[in-house]
Chains A and B, each alone.
Chain A
Amino acid sequence: DAGVIQSPRHEVTEMGQEVTLRCKPISGHNSLFWYRQTMMRGLELLIYFNNNVPIDDSGMPEDRFSAKMPNASFSTLKIQPSEPRDSAVYFCASSFNGHSYEQYFGPGTRLTVT
């Protein structure tokens, strides 16, 4: 298996622009998680989906952030408009909730907003 795939790996954008991060979970996994990592706050859960349905989005910082999972093999995290304080590494992870809670992480997307 290719593991969790994220794109792009690096994104540099200007303040005010829309940013879309993409994630393809491991085939057969039914839970998907979006995390953000910064030096100040470490790793934080933003939102997680179970069977394509958002279960908990309490970690989403504000309305500028939105996430979708239109099918079992694809999810997006969108920031509109982006701000410099959104600069971070965004990780996607997936798990096969029915058997185990072990999560498999993607390589992350490093976002820089100037």
Chain B
Amino acid sequence: KNEVEQSPQNLTAQEGEFITINCSYSVGISALHWLQQHPGGGIVSLFMLSSGKKKHGRLIATINIQEKHSSLHITASHPRDSAVYICAVGGADGLTFGKGTHLIIQP
């Protein structure tokens, strides 16, 4: 079973700062997901990666398959980015989740 480690567990930053959240896993995977969970509890898929880099607006996700590591970056952070960000690995057989990173962006 894959072990998924996220860091940091908690992060508080000021509006406008560049944010990086890291995810490491122990076993080779078919895909890595970054999910966002807002205080209301809903879960939204941000990215699915199997290699390289993806960008969507101010969000960038990268993955290094050889090092079994992924990063989620947020540029020009905004208070509305405050949420829990969850890394998950797997594929068609379901997902193994990290514990999540609780991000707070202060105005």
Residues in chain A near residue B44, CB distance under 8 A: 105
Question: Does A101 lie within 8 Å of B43, measured CB to CB?
Answer: no
The listed residue with most A CB atoms (<10 A of its CB), out of B31, B92, B98, B99, is: B92
Total chain A interface residues with beta-carbon distance under 8 A: 26
The listed residue with most A CB atoms (<10 A of its CB), out of B31, B33, B86, B95, is: B95
* Total residue contacts A-B, CB cutoff 8 A: 55
Whether B41 sits at the interface, judged by CB under 8 Å, is: yes
Nearest neighbor of B88 in chain A, beta-carbon distance: A43
Residues in chain B near residue A93, CB distance under 8 A: 43
Whether B16 sits at the interface, judged by CB under 8 Å, is: no
Whether B26 sits at the interface, judged by CB under 8 Å, is: no
Contact digits for B63-103, partner A, Cβ 8 Å, 1 yes 0 no = 00000000000000000000000101011111111111000
Contact with B92, one of A31, A43, A44, A105 (Cβ below 8 angstroms)? A31
Q: With A and B bound together, what is the CA distance between A105 and B92 in angstroms? A: 15
Query: Which secondary structure dominates where chain A touches chain B?
Result: strand
Query: Which secondary structure dominates where chain B touches chain A?
Result: strand
Nearest neighbor of B100 in chain A, beta-carbon distance: A42
Whether B11 sits at the interface, judged by CB under 8 Å, is: no
Question: Does B91 lie within 8 Å of A107, measured CB to CB?
Answer: no
CB-CB under 8 A for A48 and B94, given A42-B100, A103-B33: yes
Nearest neighbor of A48 in chain B, beta-carbon distance: B94
Whether B48 sits at the interface, judged by CB under 8 Å, is: yes
Question: Does B97 lie within 8 Å of A43, measured CB to CB?
Answer: yes
Question: Does A33 lie within 8 Å of B94, measured CB to CB?
Answer: yes
Binding site for B on A (CB under 8 A): 31, 33, 35, 42-45, 48, 50, 55-56, 59, 89, 91, 93, 95, 97, 100-105, 107-108, 110
Shortest 7 CB-CB contacts between residues of A and residues of B:
A43-B97, A105-B43, A45-B94, A48-B94, A101-B31, A102-B48, A101-B91
